[in-house]
């Protein structure tokens, strides 16, 4: 991508279908900062996660270009105790295939996720982005997100 030039591609944005799970797992595996965590042999477990997210009002959104999964975003909707128990939306697993970055795939995913959150009555969309992902931070700022918190995580052992 040349500076200041953005190439827009035709996309289909919708909830993931069962036969696209392997492509979504491969997409995560391509871009993850935690290699070896995903297990492409456990596609049924990933599908169960999609069904669980949907049962609770969320979605696993995919961006398709020419029939291929080129981006994804998990949308989690939950009731917040704060803000008069309003609905909140959390974006997770926002990934765009490396050869499709800079072509408005991420912008389309985030815009559709925000529309989904509004449809569900959410008052806020929030997300976390790893400290190392400086390009992602610029992307989110460009799309109106404000960094106002520091995130923390703790892995729980078995």
- pLDDT tens for the chain, residues 1 to 158: 445 555 678 999 999 999 999 999 999 998 877 888 899 999 999 999 999 999 999 999 999 999 999 999 999 999 989 889 999 999 999 999 999 999 999 999 999 999 999 999 999 999 998 889 889 999 999 999 999 888 888 889 86
Q: Is residue 42 part of a domain?
A: yes
CATH of the domain at 81: 3.40.630.30
Q: Domain count of the chain?
A: 1
The per-residue pLDDT for 110 is 97
- Specify if 114 maps to a domain: yes
Burial 81-111 (b: 16+ CB within 10 A, else e): eeeeeebbbbbebbbbbeebbebbbbebbbe
Compute how many other C-beta atoms are within 10 angstroms of the C-beta atom of residue 11. 20
Q: What is the model's pTM?
A: 0.88
CA distance 155 to 109: 28
Does some domain include residue 87? Answer: yes
Cα atoms in the 13 Å half-sphere on the side-chain side of 5: 4
pLDDT score at 53: 97
Structural domain includes residue 5 = no
Residue 97 maps to a domain: yes
CA distances from 133 to 31, 91, 130 (A): 11, 15, 6
> Do the beta carbons of residue 65 and residue 35 sit within 8 Å?
no
Tokens 């926002």 map to which residue? 94
Note whether residue 156 is domain-resident.
no
Is the residue at 33 inside a domain?
A: yes
For residue 121, the SS3 value is coil
Extended beta strands in 16-156, E state:
59-65, 68-79, 87-96, 122-127
Range of the domain at 65: 12-142
Strands 59-65 and 12-15: antiparallel
Query: Would you say residue 7 lies in a domain?
Result: no
The Cα–Cα gap between 17 and 148 comes to: 35
């Amino acid at each position: 991508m040349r500076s200041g030039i953005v190439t827009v591609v035709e996309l289909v944005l919708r909830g993931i279908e069962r036969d696209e799970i392997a492509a979504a797992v491969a997409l995560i595996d391509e871009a993850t900062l935690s290699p070896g965590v995903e297990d492409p042999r456990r596609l049924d477990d990933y599908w169960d996660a999609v069904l669980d997210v949907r049962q609770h009002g969320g979605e696993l959104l995919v961006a398709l270009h020419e029939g291929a999964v080129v981006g994804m975003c998990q949308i989690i909707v939950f009731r917040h105790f704060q803000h008069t128990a309003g609905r909140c939306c959390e974006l997770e697993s926002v990934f765009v295939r490396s050869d499709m970055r800079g072509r408005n795939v991420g912008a389309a995913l985030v815009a559709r996720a925000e529309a989904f959150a509004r449809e569900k009555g959410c008052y806020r969309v929030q997300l976390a982005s790893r400290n190392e992902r400086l390009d992602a931070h610029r992307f989110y700022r460009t799309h109106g997100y404000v960094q106002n918190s520091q995130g923390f995580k703790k892995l729980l052992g078995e």
